[in-house]
């Protein structure tokens, strides 16, 4: 490096400003790099390009998987599970106010009615069956939780409903205008008229009879009387 790059001695004595710059340059000279400056070793250009392509591919693949997962989750929210109920046998059965036909399906919110001499046996997915007899009216409800409590759910307005279910506890729920009957893995029969009077009898397993004011567990061989929607436990 030319030592006179800050001041040419042929032009006379350095000015005060030149002297200050020379002193600063001398103070900083201890940090001067001698010789060639070492550079970090870089991979060949082709390898660097290949790594960039793989990085872009990995990011694109991760983004695609994320989008696919979001779309799948959204489809589950937009498309509720199909109704698990189907008619196995029937007589004098009306569905949504019209006579049932062999090709008719039972979607959620379907209303089934039988006359005094009618009956209907419905399969409940692959876990059991529900039987209506006599003058009865029941509605198929969508599940509270498609994979847990209340997965199978019916609303009994009135009539005679016999249920046989082999499923995890609380998978099957019978709603009424006054109370609920939760299945605990069992076989039971619920009779109810339009005024909320009737009975509940358990043949095997157990059920939980529940209203806002009462909660009663019934085991196999036990029964209770229902008056105006209230369990008579005394």
User: How many domains does the structure of the chain reveal?
Assistant: 2
50 with 125, same domain? no
Beta bridge partners of 132: 120, 161
32 lies in some domain: no
What is the C-alpha to C-alpha distance for residues 93 and 114, in angstroms, rounded to an integer?
5
110 with 215, same domain? yes
Q: Across residues 190-197, what is the average pLDDT?
A: 96
**Structure-derived torsion over alpha carbons of residues 122, 128, 132, 138, reported in degrees to the nearest 10:** -80
189 lies in some domain: yes
68 with 95, same domain? no
15 lies in some domain: no
2 lies in some domain: no
The pLDDT value given to residue 220: 96
Q: Which helix (H) or strand (E) holds 70?
A: helix 45-78
| Interval 126-140: pLDDT, tens | 889 999 999 999 999
65 with 121, same domain? no
150 lies in some domain: yes
**Percentage with pLDDT > 90 across the chain:** 54
191 with 226, same domain? yes
Of 57, 79, 101, the one marking the end of a domain is: 79
122 with 53, same domain? no
206, 218 contact by CB (below 8 A): yes
- Could you list the residue range(s) of the whole structural domain that residue 115 is in? 85-232
Residue 47 has pLDDT above 80, yes or no: no
The pLDDT value given to residue 92: 92
Length in residues, the chain: 234
């Amino acid at each position: 490096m030319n030592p006179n790059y800050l001041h040419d001695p042929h032009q006379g004595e350095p000015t005060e400003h030149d002297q200050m710059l020379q002193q600063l340059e001398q103070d900083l000279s201890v940090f001067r790099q001698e010789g060639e400056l070492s550079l970090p070793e870089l991979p060949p250009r082709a390898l660097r390009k290949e790594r960039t392509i793989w990085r872009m591919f990995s990011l694109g693949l991760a983004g695609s998987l994320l989008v696919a997962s979001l779309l799948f989750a959204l489809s589950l929210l937009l498309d509720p599970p199909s109704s698990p109920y189907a008619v196995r046998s029937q007589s004098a059965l009306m569905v949504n106010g019209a006579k049932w036909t062999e090709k008719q399906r039972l979607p959620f919110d379907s209303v089934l009615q039988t006359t005094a001499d009618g009956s209907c046996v419905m399969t409940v997915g692959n876990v059991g069956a529900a039987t209506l007899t006599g003058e009865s009216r029941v509605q198929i409800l969508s599940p509270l939780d498609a994979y847990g409590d209340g997965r199978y759910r019916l609303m009994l307005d009135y009539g005679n409903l016999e249920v046989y279910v082999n499923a995890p506890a609380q998978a099957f729920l019978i709603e009424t205008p006054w109370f609920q009957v939760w299945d605990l893995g069992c076989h039971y029969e619920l009779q109810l008229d339009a005024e909320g009077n009737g009975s509940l009898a358990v043949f095997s397993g157990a059920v939980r009879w529940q209203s806002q004011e009462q909660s009663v567990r019934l085991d196999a061989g036990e029964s209770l009387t229902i008056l105006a929607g209230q369990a008579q436990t005394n």
